[in-house]
Amino acid sequence: QVQLQESGPGLVKPSETLSLTCAVSGYSISSGYYWGWIRQPPGKGLEWIGSIYHSGSTYYNPSLKSRVTISVDTSKNQFSLKLSSVTAADTAVYYCATQAASGIDYWGQGTLVTVSS
């Protein structure tokens, strides 16, 4: 059973960089899947942020591409998200997830990140 757990600061100041890590257990990141980040602003819908393969190949949402970096650490079985120059519009619950061609079958519980001074 694949389990994912997000971690990182729950409060980030405007213009700073949001950093989150997703720890994966029950499955080796190197075994397959793309590993993705999805976010959901309070009371709004889901937004795909981007995904990474264990080789390091990345794919980003064009609307966020200039500010997003996703990386993977296979030795720690985890992957990470960095989002730079954040504003209040980046306040959201951030989910990490497995990303198969058929859909997302495993999700983290989500972590709320608030952008505020």
Partner 1 sequence: DIQLTQSPSFLSASVGDRVTITCRASQGISSYLAWYQQKPGKAPKLLIYAASTLQSGVPSRFSGSGSGTEFTLTISSLQPEDFATYYCQQLNSYPRSTFGGGTKVEIK
For partner 1, which is the closer residue by CB, 17 or 57? 57
What's the min distance (Å) between Cβ of 46 and partner 1? Answer: 4
- Token representation of residue 23: 């720890």
Min CB(83)–partner 1 separation in Å: 18
CB of 85 or CB of 109, closer to partner 1: 109
Cβ atoms of 81 and 68 closer than 8 Å: yes
CB of 18 to partner 1, least distance (A): 19
Give the whole-angstrom CA distance, residue 91 versus residue 23.
Answer: 22
Nearer to partner 1, 27 or 107 (CB): 107
Q: Which residues bind partner 1 (CB under 8 A)?
A: 34, 36, 38, 45-48, 51, 53, 59, 61-62, 95, 97, 99, 101-105, 107-110
Distances in Å between the alpha carbon of 95 and those of 29, 46, 76?
A: 17, 10, 19
Minimal distance, residue 19 CB to partner 1, in Å: 21
Residue found under tokens 């998200």: 81
Those residues with Cβ within 8 angstroms of residue 54's Cβ, 6 or more apart along the chain or in another chain = 29, 30, 31, 32, 35, 72, 74
Closer CB to partner 1, 62 or 117, in the complex: 62
